[in-house]
């Protein structure tokens, strides 16, 4: 029979659209409803209590729309609120931390992984623990980059100012380049990372600047693809896949500015996803 109900995806803003993009590619028959809490972004500088409350209010909205599964496509919410959210709802919920950690643990050759994320995600040490669960011998270097999400939410995805902000943000983890392009690392030679995990779904939207800062030899890991694969397995196990050949529908909701949100969505999806609506959740009213 199959289940034609939509998959719900939630993020603090536009970052989770990178996860939505991979879900649509991986599961082309599935309908989706995406909710971005842009009015209260970024979550990464909020208190843990605020993150839990805001996340629950947004998932309440998705559950009211009868979604069959939910992807918490926000690393901060996954890190801080996921256990509470799973207890609150009788709906399968997938986070983004575990899939990303697994991908990073598999990608590293030297067993040295750097993680960049929001202050709240880094404070939780969720990625540190998840990577250690996958491979306890991997050295994990965590670093908060609070300036990246506001850039993305403002629609500033390219340009010299973004490159400079990324270079400054990553310098404590990667070091600085000399005039001839050689790296000066603040870490000892035997602690240089070969893998950088993007611990925030906003960050893939500025991945060109990030790759420019890391240079060659550092694998940059985006958890979106791994999360889409985990979601596909969850739907199959729970017999929630949409019927083959279904005609999917896609709706985006935002608590913030609709036109700004649509502009970012258009960069990722072209004219495919134009159904963007405003939604008000209690605390954003």
Which residues form the catalytic set?
74, 200
Short-list 37, 42, 78, CA closest to 60: 37
Q: Which long-range contacts (CB under 8 A, 24 or more apart) does 269-274 make?
A: 269/17, 269/21
Give the span between the Cα atoms of 55 and 52, in whole angstroms. 5
Q: Find where tokens 């893939």 sit.
A: 204
Give the span between the Cα atoms of 176 and 171, in whole angstroms. 6
CB 120 within 8 A of CB 79: yes
Q: Exposed (0-12), middle (13-18) or buried (19+): which is 8, by Cβ within 10 Å?
A: buried
Q: Are strands 250-254 and 32-36 parallel, antiparallel or unpaired?
A: parallel
Q: Find where tokens 């991986």 sit.
A: 26
CB 256 within 8 A of CB 267: no
Helix (H) or strand (E) holding 196: strand 195-198
Short-list 41, 148, 233, CA closest to 58: 41
CA distances from 123 to 38, 147, 153 (A): 22, 16, 22
Sheet holding 69-72, edge to edge: 93-94, 69-72, 7-11, 32-36, 250-254, 276-278
């Amino acid at each position: 029979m199959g289940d034609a109900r939509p998959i719900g995806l939630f993020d603090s803003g536009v970052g989770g659209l990178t996860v939505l993009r991979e879900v649509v590619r991986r599961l082309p028959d599935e309908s989706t409803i995406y909710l971005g809490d842009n009015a209260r972004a970024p979550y990464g500088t909020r208190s843990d209590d605020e993150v839990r409350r805001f996340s629950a209010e947004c998932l309440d909205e998705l559950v009211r729309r009868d979604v069959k599964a939910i992807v918490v496509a926000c690393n901060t919410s996954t890190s801080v609120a996921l256990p509470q959210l799973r207890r609150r709802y009788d709906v399968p919920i997938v986070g983004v931390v575990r899939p990303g950690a697994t991908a990073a643990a598999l990608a590293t050759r030297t067993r040295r992984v750097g993680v960049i994320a929001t202050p709240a995600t880094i404070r939780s040490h969720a990625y540190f623990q998840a990577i250690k669960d996958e491979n306890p011998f991997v050295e994990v270097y965590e670093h908060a980059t609070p300036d990246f999400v506001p850039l993305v939410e403002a629609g500033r995805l390219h340009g010299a100012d973004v490159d400079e902000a990324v270079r400054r943000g990553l310098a404590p983890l990667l070091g600085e380049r000399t005039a001839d392009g050689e790296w000066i690392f603040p870490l000892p030679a035997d602690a240089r990372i070969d893998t950088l995990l993007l611990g925030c779904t906003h960050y893939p939207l500025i991945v060109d600047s990030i790759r420019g800062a890391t240079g060659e030899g550092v694998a940059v890991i985006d958890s979106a693809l791994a999360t889409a694969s985990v979601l596909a397995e969850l739907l199959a196990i729970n017999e929630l896949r949409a019927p083959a050949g279904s005609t999917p529908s896609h709706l985006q909701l935002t608590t913030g500015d609709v036109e700004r949100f649509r502009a970012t969505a258009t960069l990722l999806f072209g004219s495919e996803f134009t159904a963007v609506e405003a939604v008000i959740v209690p605390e954003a009213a």
